[in-house]
Structure formats: structure tokens, C-alpha cells
Amino acid sequence: MTSSPSTVNPPKGLEGVVATTSGICYIDGERGVLAYRGIDIHELADHSTFEETCYLLWNARLPTATELKELHERLAEERELDPAIIALLRTAPRHALPMDVLRTAVSALSFFDVEEKSNTHEANVHKATRLTSQLAMIVAAYDRIRKGKSVVQPDRSLSHAANFLLMLNGERPSSTAERALDIALILHADHELNASTFAARVTAATLSDMHSAVTSAIGALKGPLHGGANEAVFQILEAIDRSGADPVSYVKGMLAQKQKIPGFGHRVYHSEDPRATHLRQMSHDLGHSSGQDRWFDVSKKIEEFVKSEKKLNANVDFYSASTYHILGIEVDLFTPVFAVSRISGWTAHVIEQLDDNRLIRPRAEYIGPVYPQPYVPIKKRQEDKSQPEEKLVREG
């Protein structure tokens, strides 16, 4: 028996492959459309809140006033961490990356979840609520602990966005800052089968638990080809600000060195990323209200040049960099803050997967040596020193 090459080569990275059906997120990359449960992201960003968006993702409809009030109350009740989790955060090495700490802490949360062993729909919605509250607390608490500051307790009267900024910065945010983060959380809540969401669904499909699925998602999000682009964007903004360089000249220099400009282009959208539309305005408004207009001004010059020179549109990461910085968020917290939002979408997909589960087990197109190959005894094998050493190549 011999192997024969396939007549159709599968796309690298499963690009364009439909892996499942889902009623959660609708994307039209040609028209620049993003919708949750059929509701356009522009409508949600203009009129909704993160809490209402969570309800929509988890329950497939918008809540009534009573249901939304009850969700606020449940999120407030779950906004607490077992002392053992705080102790874990305190024992993390100072050099630990916040994403690594978040991944480890979320895994440990399962020890203290009263419904850990239940995979019913109701239990998973409860766990989604708990995890949404707890992830924000972990990110904020660890940032303060590593800076030698006291952990700030949440305020039951505040929104999820306001509570996060309170727990992070130690003071109640302005209404402008609260609304800016609230919109950012809405915009990042879900994005169909991105790498981290797919990882979560694959884990859930084995009938593992919600915490394991979310831990898988966080592990995928940590990778620089998925999360981290807005961190790279701000590093450029900071370098320009520090050196006083002309933004366009700086970016031209990067392009001359064959460097990619982070925050531009998207694998799905062929027109403007609809999330970037709102983040651009948020960066402008927040910068103006805080007296930090320079971050938006530099970003706008870079955007105009890259769009003119490379015909690339800004994506969700580009303006989120300046927005997060003005909100007082450290650069290495940008990706964890992404998780603070995306937990709503991850858990929605886990719930959907487990409601109608089938093990996700794709096949691979074999391209190895022709079968059968003989087994050569070790004494007859010749060492081949002509083979070049394998080098790790990272695409950025």
C-alpha cells in the first residue's frame, strides 16, 4: 500500500474552513459587519452595556429590565475571590507575565467553584457569570500586588467596567473613562471562531469543564499571533513620544527594515474593522477629556500614512492601545484586559458547544514518507550530519 497525494490541499491554518455552526456571532468581512446574536456591533456600542451584552451572548436575547437588574446583582455577588487565590497571586514571581498568572489563577478557580463537576446548561451559565466577575478581579488584584499596593475591594453599586477601573487604579473612574472601557468590553466580547474561542470549544467538546476550556482559551490568547498586537502598537507610540520623532518618518523607517506595522489589516475583514470605528472615536474623546491628545494625534498620523501607503485599514488593536493607556492600564495588561472582555464570548461558546456536543476531531492530510517505510535496526543506521539544524521561525 502506498500513500497518494490529495487532489485538494487543505488551507493552512484552516483558513476559510467552516468548523461548526453557531448562533452567537455573525461576521461579513467584505462589508465590515460584526453582530452578536444578529444585533449589529454599532447598535450595541451606541446603546448597550457590557452586562447587557453578556446576557445577550449567554441567553440569545436581550434581557428585560428585571433580568438585567438581576444579572447586575449576580455579577456583584460573584465579585469575590477565595483567599487562596489572593495568596496564589502573592506568591507569583515578580517577573511573571500577567497572562501567565491569569491562566494559572483561572485554573485554580475551579477548586472553589461549587458547580465545578456539573456541566448542565444552568450550571454553565452560573459559571460564566462567576468567571466574568472573577477574571476582572484577578487582573486588577495581581497588578496591584506586584506593585506593592493593597487589593481594592469592589463596589456593588458600580458597573463591571467602573469596578474594574476602581480595583485597578484605586479610585472611582470618571463617567467618560467608565463608558470608554464599557464600550471596549462590548467590542471585544466575541469574534466567532478565533484561535482562543476555538481552543475553548475543542476543550469543552471532550466534556471537560468550563474552567479547563477557559484556561485553554487564555493559553491560546497569550500567543503573539492572537493577543498582544495592541501592546506592540503602544510600544511604537511610546518610542515616538520618547524620541520626539515624526510619526510618519518613524513608520517609514520600520517599513524600510521590512518590519510589519501592528494594528493594521485583518484575516477576516477586507474593509474597516467595525470595532476600530468606535475605538478611534474613544481614543479621541478620552484623550481630549484627559488632556492627553498626543496619543490620538500620533495614532491618526500613522493610520493615515499606512492606509495611503499600504492600503491597510486599522483593526481593533490599533486604537485600543492609546485608549487603554489613557485609562491607566499598563502595557502588559492589554492582553489580560482583552480576556476580561472575551470571557463573555468564550463562555457563551462553551455553553453552546455543551448544549449540543460532539467531539471535535478533524483529520490531517498526511504528507510524510510513503507508506510503508522499513524499520532499520539501530546498528545499520547512518548518522546524517548534512541536515541543517531546525530553526524556530515566528511569524509576526
Coil, helix or strand at residue 347: helix
Same domain, 148 and 268: no
Q: Is 1 a member of any domain?
A: no
Per-residue pLDDT of the chain (396 residues), as tens digits, is 444 444 467 888 888 889 999 999 999 999 999 999 999 999 999 999 999 999 999 999 999 999 999 999 999 999 999 999 999 999 999 889 999 999 999 999 999 999 999 999 999 999 999 999 999 999 999 999 999 999 999 999 999 999 999 999 999 999 999 999 999 999 999 999 999 999 999 999 999 999 999 999 999 999 998 999 999 999 999 999 999 999 999 999 999 999 999 999 988 898 889 999 999 999 999 999 999 999 999 999 999 999 999 999 999 999 999 999 999 999 999 999 999 999 999 999 999 999 999 999 999 999 999 999 999 999 999 876 655 554 443 333
Domain end point (choices 305, 326, 347): 326
Q: Is 369 a member of any domain?
A: no
Same domain, 249 and 120: no
Q: Which domain holds residue 237?
A: 229-326
Q: Which of 72, 211, 317, 325 is catalytic?
A: 317
Q: Is 387 a member of any domain?
A: no
Q: Is 125 a member of any domain?
A: yes
270 has catalytic annotation: no
Q: What is the DSSP string of 266-304?
A: -SS-SS--HHHHHHHHHHHHHHHHHT-HHHHHHHHHHHH
Same domain, 240 and 103: no
Rounded Cα–Cα distance for residues 119 and 216 (Å) = 17
Q: Is 5 a member of any domain?
A: no
**Contact residues for 363 (Cβ-Cβ < 8 A; gap 6+):** none
Q: Which of 266, 278, 284, 349 is catalytic?
A: 266
Cell of 302: 500613522
Task: Give how many domains the chain has, as a whole number.
Answer: 2
Rounded Cα–Cα distance for residues 155 and 163 (Å) = 6
Q: Is 390 a member of any domain?
A: no
- Length of the chain counted residue by residue: 396
Q: Which residue from 188, 223, 196, 203 is spatially nearest to 346, judged by alpha carbons?
A: 196
Q: Which residue from 271, 265, 275 is spatially nearest to 341, judged by alpha carbons?
A: 275
Maximal CA-CA distance, the chain = 77
Rounded Cα–Cα distance for residues 365 and 87 (Å) = 47
Q: Is 348 a member of any domain?
A: yes
What b-and-e string marks burial along 97-113, b requiring 16 or more CB atoms within 10 Å of the CB? ebbebbbbbbbbbbeeb
266 has catalytic annotation: yes
